[in-house]
Amino acid sequence: MSIIIGIDPGTTTVWFAIMALEKNYREVLNYWIIETKPKEKLELKLVDIVNDLEEIIEKYKPTIAWVEKLFFTNNQKTWIDVAHARWAILQTLAKKWIHIYEFTPLQVKKWICGNWSANKLQVQKALKLILKMNELPKPDDAADAIAIAYIASLQKRLI
């Protein structure tokens, strides 16, 4: 069995999804958020993210991680801060010898919905259908992390 962690990085919120894969059976084990204080200094946010990620790794013992890649935004400060958080996440995963792969947001939308320009609600509805969930995964960033883990589970290198 493979345990996959899907990560949608941020600084104030980082979404994680844990998925188990055994042959062609996939199950979302858990998904949740790491929240940091919005006004907190970036370096303290990074410490919180790393500490929480280490706890998640210890509990679920994932062997594979898929992390959403950044895309350029108009707000350079936000983009740079998220890049720092992403680096802290990648470093934490690498230090635990977890294999790291990446998807762009557009790749996630294309894989889940068949459409590069799918909106967040479309991704949520598609995941509910694909994974036979009782309700939409909420909020939409949680759906992003679940989608990343699900797409990762489809990769041939895992089966």
Q: Which among 22, 27, 81, 141 is annotated as catalytic?
A: 141
77, pLDDT greater than 80: no
Instruction: Confirm whether 8 is a catalytic residue.
Output: yes
pLDDT band at 87 (very low <50, low <70, confident <90, very high): very high
Calculate mean pLDDT across residues 46-55.
96
| Active-site residue, selected from the candidate residues 22, 55, 68, 102 | 68
Does residue 158 have a pLDDT over 60? no
Determine the distance from the C-alpha atom of residue 79 to the mean position of all C-alpha atoms in its chain, rounded to a whole number.
17
Is 43 annotated in the active site?
Answer: no
17 in Cβ contact with 28 (< 8 Å): yes
Tokens 């108009």, residue located: 74
Domain ranges in the chain? 2-158
CATH-assigned architecture of domain 2-158: 2-Layer Sandwich (3.30)
Measured between alpha carbons, how far is 97 from 136 in angstroms, rounded to an integer?
Answer: 33
The verdict on pTM exceeding 0.85 is yes
Q: What is the pLDDT of residue 74?
A: 60
Q: What is the pLDDT of residue 93?
A: 97
Length of the chain measured in residues: 159
Query: Hey, which of 29-33, 57-61, 115-119 has the most confident mean pLDDT?
Result: 57-61
- Catalytic annotation present for 48: no
User: Integer distance in angstroms from the first to the last C-alpha of the chain?
Assistant: 9
Q: Is the pLDDT of residue 159 over 50?
A: no
Mean pLDDT of all residues in the chain? 88
Whole-number Å distance between alpha carbons of 59 and 137: 22
What local confidence, expressed as pLDDT, does residue 65 receive?
94
pLDDT average, residue stretch 146-150: 92
Q: Are 105 and 68 in contact (CB under 8 A)?
A: yes
Q: Which two tokens stand for residue 84?
A: 């720092």
Q: How far is CA 137 from CA 6, 71, 130, 149, in A?
A: 14, 23, 12, 13
Say what the pLDDT of residue 116 is.
85
Q: How many CB atoms lie within 10 A of CB 112?
A: 23
CA 129 to chain centre: 19
